């Protein structure tokens, strides 16, 4: 699999989608809260539409599969590259929302 679609990029897309949906759905967070990805997932998932739930779960699966692939094949991504790929994933979500595109596009290995 391509390096620019490492687990970090899928994670960035998942995180970005959850954060954007939280904002759209009016979910508020307390700054003193130590919010985990699981907490964010649960808060958003409970208010998500069927389509949003499908995309969230697909991104979660793609992230998990890529992580397992990287571990099984001893592919290590240094922290700097991991952060860069995660930022690219977050950017992908921003582009999707700004262009008002279908969130299904986040499931494709597309560079926006």
Residue pLDDT, tens place only, 88-102? 999 999 999 999 999
Residue 89 CA from chain centroid, whole number: 7
Domain ranges, residue 88 = 3-26+35-107
Low-confidence ranges of the chain (pLDDT < 50): 1
Residue 92 lies in a domain: yes
Question: Does 91 fall in a domain?
Answer: yes
CA 51 to chain centre: 15
Domain count, the chain: 1
In a domain, 80, yes or no: yes
Rounded CA-CA distance 56/42 in Å is 11
The answer as to whether 112 is a domain residue is no
What confidence score (pLDDT) does residue 1 get?
A: 44
Cα dihedral sign, 87-39-98-9? positive
Asked if the structure places residue 78 within a domain, the reply is yes
pLDDT confidence of residue 83: 94
* Closest C-alpha to 102, from 38, 49, 31, 23: 49
Q: What is the pLDDT of residue 2?
A: 55
Q: What local confidence, expressed as pLDDT, does residue 43 receive?
A: 92
Cβ-defined contacts of 43-49 (< 8 Å, 24+): 44/18, 47/21, 48/21
pLDDT for 4: 75
SS3 89: helix
């Amino acid at each position: 699999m391509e390096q620019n679609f490492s687990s970090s990029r899928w994670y960035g897309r998942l995180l970005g989608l959850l954060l954007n949906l939280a904002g759209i759905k009016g979910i508020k967070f307390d700054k003193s809260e130590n919010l985990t990805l699981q907490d964010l997932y649960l808060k958003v998932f409970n208010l998500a539409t069927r389509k949003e739930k499908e995309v969230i779960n697909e991104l979660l699966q793609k992230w998990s599969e890529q992580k397992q692939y990287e571990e099984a094949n001893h592919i290590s991504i240094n922290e700097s590259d991991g952060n860069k790929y995660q930022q690219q994933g977050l950017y992908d979500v921003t582009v999707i929302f700004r262009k008002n595109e279908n969130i299904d596009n986040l499931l494709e290995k597309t560079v926006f």
